């Protein structure tokens, strides 16, 4: 089952973007979700930033999965970022992040939220898949790659 592919679109799949910090990345994501899902950017930024303060969402191998709960959101949604200049994320292996999937879920999400996070961890745990994600040419290519993946 692939819970990830339906969460992203060409508009929420950004390749080779540059940010000076993860705070700037979160600000960009907050604006992106506000524009694409009609949410309040301040709520999104606060949710992502507060979750990150609890502990890094970096997994290692240049991967991070920042996530937050958003009041008023009906269904989970995501944004995929491949950053041009690696970002410091306090990863367990001390490597900076180049692939980032930002996940937003409804405030009261429970089981589905955990299933999506688990699937993201499996997806990003696949070394060959990480290499393919780093080589994808267009957002559509990356979405098709994720859609073809199965755990």
**pLDDT tens-place string over residues 20-76:** 999 999 999 999 999 999 899 999 999 999 999 999 999 999 999 999 999 989 899
Q: Are 68 and 44 in contact (CB under 8 A)?
A: yes
Distance CA 146, CA 26 (A): 22
Name the band, by pLDDT with cuts 50, 70 and 90, for residue 111: confident
Tell me the pTM: 0.95
Indicate the length of the chain as a whole number.
151
Query: pLDDT tens digit string along 74-101?
Result: 899 999 999 999 999 999 999 999 999 9
- What confidence tier does 108 reach under pLDDT thresholds 50, 70, 90? confident
CA of 67: how far to CAs of 49, 72, 76, 105, in Å?
Answer: 9, 16, 10, 8
Q: Are 58 and 91 in contact (CB under 8 A)?
A: yes
113 is catalytic: no
Q: What pLDDT score was predicted for residue 116? A: 93
**Tell me, what's the pLDDT at 127?**
95
Q: Determine the pLDDT at residue 52.
A: 95
What is the per-residue pLDDT across 125-143, written as a single tens digit (0 to 9) for each?
999 999 999 999 999 999 9
Side-chain half-sphere CA neighbours of 7 within 13 A: 23
Give CA separation, 74 vs 38, 48, 60, 67, 68, in Å: 11, 17, 30, 15, 13
Hey, is 142 helix, strand or coil?
helix
Candidates 28, 37, 61, 67; catalytic one? 67
- Cα 15-120-109 angle, rounded to 5 deg: 110
């Amino acid at each position: 089952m692939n819970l990830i592919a339906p969460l992203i679109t060409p508009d929420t799949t950004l390749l080779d973007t540059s940010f000076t910090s993860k705070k700037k990345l979160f600000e960009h994501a907050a604006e992106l979700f506000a524009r694409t899902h009609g949410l309040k950017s301040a709520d999104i930024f606060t949710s992502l930033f507060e979750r990150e303060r609890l502990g890094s969402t970096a997994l290692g191998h240049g991967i991070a999965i920042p996530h937050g709960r958003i009041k008023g959101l009906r269904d989970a949604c995501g944004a995929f970022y491949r950053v041009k200049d690696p970002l410091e994320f306090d990863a367990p292996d001390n490597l900076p992040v180049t692939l980032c999937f930002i996940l937003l879920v409804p405030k009261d999400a429970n089981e589905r939220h955990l299933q999506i996070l688990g699937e993201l961890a499996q997806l990003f745990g696949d070394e060959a898949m990480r290499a393919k994600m780093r080589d994808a040419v267009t957002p559509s290519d990356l979405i098709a790659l994720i859609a073809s993946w199965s755990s």
